[in-house]
Structure 1
Amino acid sequence: MAVPLQRPHVVCLLLCCLTSCLSIPDPRQRDALIHLEASMQTGGQVVLSDAEQRLDALLFKMKQEETAKEDFPPAMHFFKARDLIKGSPIFSLLQKMPKGGALHLHDLAIVDVEWLVKNVTYRPYCYMCITDNRSIRFIFSSQLPKPLQRCSPWIQLKHLRAKMVNVTELDNSIRNNLTLYTDQEPEAVYPSQDVVWEAFEQKFLALWGLVMYAPVFREYFYQGLSEFYMDNVMYVELRVLLAEIYELDGSTHDSAFTLRTYQDISREFKANHPDFFGVRVIFSIHRGVNASVMTGAVEEAMKLQKDFPDIMAGFDMVGREDSGKPLWDFREALSLPAERGVPMPFFFHAGETNLQGTEVDQNLLDALLFNTSRIGHGFALPRHPLARDLSRRRGVALEVCPISNQVMKLVKDLRNHPAAGLMSEDHPVVISSDDPAMFGASGLSYDFYEAFVGFGGIRSHLGSLKQLAINSIRYSSLTPQQQEEALAQWQTKWNTFVSENAF
């Protein structure tokens, strides 16, 4: 795995400058400092070809115009900025750009909810009920399902729509229950982290009954891959809960069946799209479980890793860090693979918090103690200098999800995101989109826009984008040989992209 280059010459130059500060500053030293600092950022040492330089000049002009606008999208809540971003020429270019891989995604939030509403909820035997807290649940069943606790009686959507004059109103209501996105004032709808996280988790519960129905599951995953493929993403790593897939008669399948289905659909998609490199999954469990359940999950993950080595990448915990148990509470379960000599890569969510000094705030250090391969979010990393140094030296990349961090109320203005500082020193970083459908986004381009325009400011350039795409392959769970194959495939796409857009 690539480790950022150390630059001792930078320190030497700075020392020389400091020792000469008693004299009048030399403009040449100033220029050298500016140049060296720029070279330290992500992509700062990427040498651009003539064609890449022409495209970079075009991008720079676009960015100058973008940053001069009164309504600057990265400074706004994404729900307000989305349509502005859609109209941006930078965004249009990023959509065409081969972005490599998306390494931080969750299984139930990768498909546009419009597809679920129009394609899935209109299928036969789709039942819905309304919970006490005004959320909704779905299930497909050949007969009237058993009553669900704290939910209204089940009603088949086909019959409900037949009784309604305005079906569009129902569809809009269902859509609103499957995504956090709102055209109302987002700060008023979600005034705190507690409120937005509660809504977030309720919407995932609503999605479960739609997505995990066997016929839908296959189509859903294929559709998700299609949406990322159309956004010029060639490889995907997906956090999956491996929940039971169920049939119309109520029977269910085990986690091995679910994983095998992911594998089959991935192979089918790749056969139909030979330039798509593939999929790997990270088996995940909610961090709110007890120690016994966690032990069982790690045991299961080790077995699945052995049975499905091609698609199984490793293990993680999901759910809100602030209200969940810290990693250290599960140290016995998480130590099992090492104790048994079983290779089990970890990809821990850690540092997705702005609470300092709590047990949860130590997750970053604990993740590194357990030799995590990457860090999910890592928002708190700048507050942990030791963890930052360790992750840099070990080449442990942060999976940065800009829109997610903003919508979940960790940061308001994306220019102030901690990753901006980390990218200025070329800390290992990959950009991903976490739960794009939940945020009213799709694919990876929206998050790339926020990172490129918001984090990077005027200084980031085409080399930054190129390095981020390369990072997404270099820091993936692919074997070194697979990484080289993927990079060669990506390079071909990149060359075509540059030649078609460098005017």
Structure 2
Amino acid sequence: MASVEWLVKNVTYRPHCYFCITPEGILQFRFAQSAPRNPKGRECSNWVLLGDHRKKLKDTTEFDKSLLRAFTMVTKNPEKIYPNEDALRTKFQYIFLSISGLVHHAPVFKDYIFQGLKEFHQDNVFFLEIRTMLWPVYELDGEIHDKLWVVRAYQEVTDKFKRTHPEFMGLRLIFSDYRTKSVAGIAHSIRTAIKLREIFSDIIAGFDLVGREDTGFSLYYYKEALMIPVMYGVKLPYFFHAGETDWYGTSIDRNLVDAVILNATRIGHGFALTKHPVVKAYTRNKDIPLEVCPISNQVMKLVSDMRNHPAAALMACGHPMVISSDDPAVFGAKGLSYDFYEAFMGIGGKRADLRTLKQLVTNSIKYSSLSKTEKDLFMKVWKLRWNQFIDYLARKPR
């Protein structure tokens, strides 16, 4: 969620940062007192101290540019470099494998959260809900922190940020796990989510299954695990990725049906919703919004022209939706404004105006996981800023 420029210029210049290259050409990083050993069964070149490597270079600028290219999907020839979704997903996965060793180092992890909050705040975002796997975080000496430590880190950094930015409303986490795991594995994650929500009720918003839908298991496959909260009489809100596909009649778009049966609070992407009129009518009547991610859908080849995005038809009929940025840094974007721009200029059509923006922003507050009291307060704060914005536009010289 934080810019890769910051990751390269700040994090990779820190001491004790080692790197190696896998046979597939994937960069791996690790902070350590001495050169780390490869995990059992994983091949990598010799680990090299990044600081020493830079000293041997005549010009570090090109090397840093190569890191930027490795950390984003940005390219001058996307059609050639990414001829199909498989190529896109492979690069997408490689990026996460590369940056994980950097971001999951404890000092970097906290700084990364703070930097992400800072960049979104600069973009006038005052509340965030992010999906996170809560991966283990490590110290320089090799000590590994568990999920409880990771959630506390999010909480501590957010509290620290709010002390210098009192108008910031906070951050909440949607604990997520891969849809490639066994039913038993997801059942364990559901129980973990319930436990974390009991301990951190003010920061854990709910649960989701993430990862590529068409190569992973369906929501129906995990039905026994996903029914655990009901069996225990516990409330665990779901924010399911569902229907992130341009196909019809597959297990992927049928995830939309199971998402509403499982009482999803919001639906991530829901790109195929217009092909399911009953689910479309149900989600509208029940006020279940879609999380529309314009840039992500475009990069992942679901749509090339935003005017043809299914959300355009949904917006025209007043279907509930919010605009999300998915993985902005990976796509070469920053914050949320880039996605709002595409939603406004393409999805909104020629009739889009200030009312369109106002509705989308108020939707972000309305469909958040905040309590009613918090939403009411947030709306008051936002209305004040909105009025200032309108006043600025009215006074701006033409």
Query: With structure 1 as the length reference, what TM-score do the two structures score?
Result: 0.77
Aligned partner letter, 2:19? M
What residue number does 1:285 align with? 177
Equivalent residue for 1:336?
228
Runs of 4+ in 1 over 4 A off after TM superposition: none
Cα distance in 2, alignment partners of residues 223 and 450 from structure 1: 24
Residue 166 (1) aligns with residue 59 (2): yes
- Of stretches 303-312 and 172-181 in structure 1, the one that deviates more from structure 2 is 172-181
Residue 464 of structure 1 and its aligned partner are, at CA, apart by 0.7
Q: Aligned ranges for residues 349-428 of structure 1 at < 5 Å?
A: 349-428=241-320
Query: SS in structure 2 opposite 1:128?
Result: strand
Aligned to 1:444: 336
Instruction: Indicate whether 1:431 and 2:323 are aligned.
Output: yes
Within the candidate set 174, 186, 206, 1:314 is matched to 206
Pair 1:468-2:360 in alignment: yes
| Aligned match of 1:453 | 345
Aligned to 1:95: none
Shift of 1:147: 2.0
Which of 64, 71, 89 is equivalent to 1:178? 71
What is the aligned partner in structure 2 of residue 222 from structure 1?
114
- 1: CA distance between counterparts of 2:123 and 2:193? 31
CA distance in 2 between partners of 1:152 and 1:380 (Å): 43
Secondary structure in 1 aligned to 2:145? coil
Amino acid at match of 2:365: I
SS in 2 for 1:124: coil
User: How far off is 1:265 after superposition?
Assistant: 0.8
- Matched letter for residue 201 of structure 2: P
Alignment of 1:109-188 (within 5 A): 110-148=1-39, 149-182=42-75, 184-188=76-80
Shift of 1:270: 1.1
Instruction: Show the counterpart of 1:491.
Output: 383
Give 3-state SS (helix, strand or coil) of 1:371's partner: coil
Distance (whole Å) between structure 2 residues aligned to residue 410 and residue 371 of structure 1? 26
Distance 2:43 2:74 in 1: 25
1:237 — aligned with what?
129
For 1:229 and 1:369, the matched residues in 2 are separated by 36
User: How far off is 1:150 after superposition?
Assistant: 2.5
CA distance in 2, matches of 1:151, 1:383: 46
- Residue in 2 that maps onto 1:323: 215
1:199 equivalent to 2:91? Answer yes
Residue 369 of structure 1 deviates from its aligned partner by 0.6
* Preserved contact between residue 207 and residue 237 of structure 2 (Cα < 8 Å): yes
> Matches of 1:187 and 1:472 in 2, distance apart?
33
Q: Deviations over 1:327-367 (max 9, x none)?
A: 11111111000110111000000011122211122100001
Separation (CA, whole Å) in 1 of partners of 2:360 and 2:378: 14
Pick one of 223, 234, 258 that aligns with 2:150: 258
Task: Give the Cα separation in 1 of the matches to 2:363 and 2:350.
Answer: 21
Deviations 1:282-314 (A, max 9, x none): 000111111111111001000000000000100
Unaligned runs of 5+ residues in structure 2 are: none
Distance 1:132 1:225 in 2: 35
Distance 1:396 1:307 in 2: 27
**Cα offset for 1:166?**
2.1
Q: What is the identity, as a one-letter code, of the residue corresponding to 1:124? A: P
TM-score, normalised relative to structure 2: 0.97
**Aligned-pair identity (%):** 50
Provide Cα deviations, 1:353-400, integer angstroms capped at 9, x if missing partner: 122211122100001010000000010100111111111011110000
Query: Where do 1:12-27 residues align within 5 Å?
Result: none
How far apart, in 1, do the equivalents of 2:118 and 2:305 lie?
Answer: 31
Are residues 1:246 and 2:151 paired? no
Q: Distance in 1 between matches of 2:380 and 2:347?
A: 28
Letter in 1 for 2:345: V
For the 8 Å contact 2:214–2:251, the answer to whether it is kept is no
Q: Structure 1 counterpart of 2:27, which letter? A: I
The gaps in structure 1 that reach 5 residues or longer are 1-109
> What is the aligned counterpart of 2:369 among 463, 477, 480?
477
The amino acid of 2:191's aligned partner reads E
Q: Distance in 1 between matches of 2:289 and 2:38?
A: 46
CA–CA separation in structure 2 for the residues paired with 1:359 and 1:351: 9
